[in-house]
Amino acid sequence: MWNGPLEKIDRYRYRIPSSYHGERGNVRMRAEGLIFASPSMIDQIKRDNALEQVANVATLPGLVGGSMAMPDIHSGYGFSIGGVAATDSEEGVISPGGVGFDINCLSGSTEVAMGDGGLEEIKNLNCKEKVLIFDYLKNRVEKAQIRLALEKRDRIFEISTKGGYHIYATLDHPILTSEGMREVKYLGKGDSVGIYDEEFGFDAIKSIRPKGVEEVFDITVSSPLHNFIANNFVVSNCGVRLLRTNLTSNDLDEKRVRGLVDQMFANVPSGVGSKGKVRLGGKEIEEVLEEGAKWAVDNGYGWKEDLEFIEEKGQMKTADSSLVSEDAKRRGIPQLGSLGAGNHFLEIQRVEEIYEPEVAKTFGIENKGQIAVMIHTGSRGCGHQICTDYLRVLERAVRKYNIDLPDRQLACAPVKSKEAEDYFKAMACGANFAFANRQMITHWVREAFEKTLNYSAKDMGLKVIYDVCHNIAKLEEHEVDKKRKKVYVHRKGATRAFCKGLEQVPTEYRSVGQPVLIPGDMGTASYLLVGTEQAMKETWGTTCHGAGRLMSRTRARREFRANEIIDALKKKGTYIRAASLKVVTEEAPDAYKDVSQVVEAVEGAGISRKVAKMTPLGVVKG
């Protein structure tokens, strides 16, 4: 729960003043936090620690401009999801969004067991010693190497449970709860906390009372308890692609929709561990990693003109496949050309509303009822392995460059360091894999339409409207204090939304601006937006990326039944074909936030405008 200052600027903007020093008083914001949200969303946003993360990001070395958050903001690791920040291209850092250490505040009286079995008082310890750490949770032992032992004064709280247990801890101390680890500040009466007393069990909190200020020790252990595995962020280049057609919903009766969905399901490998139909030989994976969608087109997947309608033309030129491990390549080879599972999908959509007919027409959307196809997937196991590999590199960089951050999970490396440069080039490889993946899937979607409807894809006008990344860091030139300046823009769960006139916007769209694709959750609406000048001025040309999860997968599985969801979707005219019924419950529409509210807020703030709204007729889920 957020208790810090939050000033309302206007109906869609809130500010965290840079005078805020954080919950623990150790945050030195270099600039203010700027949150885009409507009043109806702000209560929910305040509920987790996303806003504290916005303040923390404002401390990044070399930060240029403010630390921003889009309306779909929710708590991430290090950065919030929906977080946007730019860093100086000379003096800044590149942050994968957080690789951190766990910092436990222990009182001075805490006994510390040395690695050799002896006991030592915490204040006598030296860094680098191997210890077992006993903390307030009785019996909880952690073997680790100490990196940092700082003495400080902090507020101690006593957590009493109904069963008569007491835990003493500082506000930022993580406590085991039935919902996972939670810092004390997020706990309240009635929450279940884990108790070890011979047997492991949970007990409800009766009260949490302040016990005054005591000497505590910040023990930073070597156990790299970094939260965020970079694959959520920079590496995976999860993204969205939208295709248009000349068809309208009148051309597709229920039977044809089913036929198309079944054919797409057959054509595009999906589901957990899904493997592509293609076997790459020799050095081909390296070509994929360096050439992205261009590789796919050169090898017969799709049309040359598709490349014009992809962010970066489907190829991050900074990619260097020599910086990607053999493991990542081998994980990537079998999965190229597959959808995967989870929130990834293929949808046949019907244009439900057109808000700006002229802009829509420029993008190839002419009529209500027109059929479009949306593809949502990323870089699969290849990107995840790149992330796993670079996690280690960046974690070491934080120590090496001694970067001072309020949240160690915001790990980063100076832009000119070898670590940052290598990471940036490897990350680009992950992005290229994702571009190639969406390009190959596009090809198979076209084949599915051709086979089912007996027209050629060209005749059906199955063109790419656009393809966006929504987890990526990029070197871009923006206006800062009336001068052009190169900055690294970090978009973590956010989408580039460039305005009209810019060379990065495809020539055909340059008079209106860049299309922005916002996927809804399964069975609800998705949106086509357009970038604005306001976004260029205020958000480095950035807007929101989607709905965002509200409920855990396991909880969704408990609360929803697959057949009921499928029936409910069917009543709304949506046919779904999923590799797994389990995924259907996990991705239930009610497990997500309302995407329409998110889109209203970014339009209200002027950082993008609604062009069209689409609803699904048919869905392929992993």
- Show the tokens assigned to 612: 């069209």
* DSSP calls for 188-251: -TT-EEEEEESEEEEEEEEEEEEEEEEEEEEEEESS------GGGTTTT--EEEEEEEEEEGGG
Interaction residues for other proteins, span 497-556 (CB under 8 A) = 549-555
By CB under 8 A, tell whether 277 contacts other proteins: no
List the beta bridge partners of residue 485.
478
By CB under 8 A, tell whether 44 contacts other proteins: no
- Show the tokens assigned to 187: 């706990």
Binding residue count for other proteins, defined by CB under 8 A? 66
Interaction residues for other proteins, span 555-574 (CB under 8 A) = 555
Reference 16, options 61, 60, 50, 64; nearest CA is 50
Binding mask 9-38 for other proteins (x = CB under 8 A): ------------------------------
What's the min distance (Å) between Cβ of 332 and other proteins? Answer: 8
Q: Which of 285, 324, 391, 403 binds other proteins (CB under 8 A)?
A: 391
As a whole number of angstroms, the distance between CA 389 and CA 331 comes to: 13
What's the min distance (Å) between Cβ of 43 and other proteins? Answer: 17
As a whole number of angstroms, the distance between CA 260 and CA 247 comes to: 13
By CB under 8 A, tell whether 580 contacts other proteins: yes
By CB under 8 A, tell whether 427 contacts other proteins: no
By CB under 8 A, tell whether 340 contacts other proteins: yes
As a whole number of angstroms, the distance between CA 251 and CA 156 comes to: 67
As a whole number of angstroms, the distance between CA 64 and CA 67 comes to: 9
As a whole number of angstroms, the distance between CA 178 and CA 196 comes to: 13
Binding mask 469-498 for other proteins (x = CB under 8 A): ------------------------------
* DSSP calls for 540-594: SSEE-----B-S-HHHHHHH--HHHHHHHHHHTT-EEEES-HHHHHHT-GGGB--
List the beta bridge partners of residue 94.
413
As a whole number of angstroms, the distance between CA 356 and CA 610 comes to: 7
By CB under 8 A, tell whether 199 contacts other proteins: yes
Q: Which stretch in 324-332, 354-362, 484-492, 518-526 sits in contact with other proteins by CB under 8 A?
A: 324-332
Q: Which stretch in 164-172, 269-277, 398-406, 606-614 sits in contact with other proteins by CB under 8 A?
A: 269-277
Q: How far is CA 181 from CA 48, 375, 399, 485, in A?
A: 13, 34, 25, 41
What's the min distance (Å) between Cβ of 398 and other proteins? Answer: 13
Interaction residues for other proteins, span 350-379 (CB under 8 A) = none
What's the min distance (Å) between Cβ of 263 and other proteins? Answer: 19
Q: Which of 69, 144, 257, 569 binds other proteins (CB under 8 A)?
A: 144
Interaction residues for other proteins, span 217-236 (CB under 8 A) = 222-229, 231-232, 236
Reference 610, options 355, 240, 343, 384; nearest CA is 355
As a whole number of angstroms, the distance between CA 242 and CA 470 comes to: 14
What's the min distance (Å) between Cβ of 340 and other proteins? Answer: 6
Q: Which of 80, 263, 349, 385 binds other proteins (CB under 8 A)?
A: 385
| Residue 409 dihedral angles phi and psi, to the nearest 5° | -75, -10
Nearer to other proteins, 379 or 514 (CB): 379
By CB under 8 A, tell whether 141 contacts other proteins: yes
Nearer to other proteins, 260 or 391 (CB): 391
End-to-end Cα separation, the chain, in angstroms: 34
Told to judge if 545 belongs to the known catalytic residues of this protein, a careful annotator would answer yes
Residues at the site binding other proteins, with contacts judged by CB under 8 A? 74-75, 77, 99-100, 102, 132, 139-145, 174, 176, 178-181, 199-200, 222-229, 231-232, 236, 271-273, 275, 327, 330-331, 333-335, 340-342, 381, 384-385, 387-388, 391-392, 549-555, 579-580, 582-583, 586, 622
Q: Any idea which residues carry the catalytic annotation?
A: 545
